[in-house]
A and B are shown apart, each in its own frame.
Chain A
Amino acid sequence: GQQLNQSPQSMFIQEGEDVSMNCTSSSIFNTWLWYKQDPGEGPVLLIALYKAGELTSNGRLTAQFGITRKDSFLNISASIPSDVGIYFCAFVNFGNEKLTFGTGTRLTIIP
């Protein structure tokens, strides 16, 4: 089946630091999504990417759809306490309703 590798599994950073995480797949997809999940809540969509090479920003968040269409990264600049949570990448193909999620990156901010 399709495999999605997300790294790192966890990150411990200080407030104000920049963060980078990525996902790689074994197959080509035409849509990459990045979600954040807070404890006790469902995932919330942060950024959607639809074209290879596409670079999209949402405030302090920036994500890119890899040119090979098999990978994507998410950067967070100048982290703040509310950035704490689990970040998931997910992919999907047009006409397919199934979102396939990665295993997540848990972000913790050290005081």
Chain B
Amino acid sequence: DAGVTQSPTHLIKTRGQQVTLRCSPKSGHDTVSWYQQALGQGPQFIFQYYEEEERQRGNFPDRFSGHQFPNYSSELNVNALLLGDSALYLCASRTGTCMRNYGYTFGSGTRLTVV
């Protein structure tokens, strides 16, 4: 049973460019959250998608946007990349039906480097 799958694993972009990261949730999961993890820090919540809608958002600018598809997979888009956007981007999924189920399954992440 595949867990959370993220692609690509590594990416190098130039400042000002746009990037799209992809996530397939664990089988049976319908809720997807995205996190940004800077080097030496804990993950920071970007936003969460459920039923193809953004349900909650962290303290990130509008340059960060997302989408969830009918098959529950999700994309994270970042526009006008800054050097400070360099980080590990993690996708986490869970089933949204149990309010006390915080057993999120995390993917291995996409390492984004902005030069």
Contacts and interface: CB of A to CB of B under 8 A. Distances in A.
Nearest to A32: B102
Interface residues of A, number: 24
Nearest to A6: B42
Interface of B: 4, 31, 33, 35, 40-45, 48, 55-56, 58, 90, 92, 99-100, 102-104, 106-109
Contacts of B92: 42
Contacts of B104: 45, 99
Contacts of B90: 42-43
B42 A95 contact: no
Contacts of A95: 99
Interface string A62-106: 000000000000000000000000001010101111111111100
Instruction: Tell me if A's interface is mostly helix, strand, loop or mixed.
Output: loop
Nearest to B57: A98
A40 B92 CA distance: 15
Interface of A: 31, 33, 40-45, 48, 50, 88, 90, 92, 94-104
Contacts of B44: 101
**Top 6 closest A-B pairs, CB basis?**
A42-B106, A101-B42, A98-B45, A97-B48, A97-B56, A43-B106
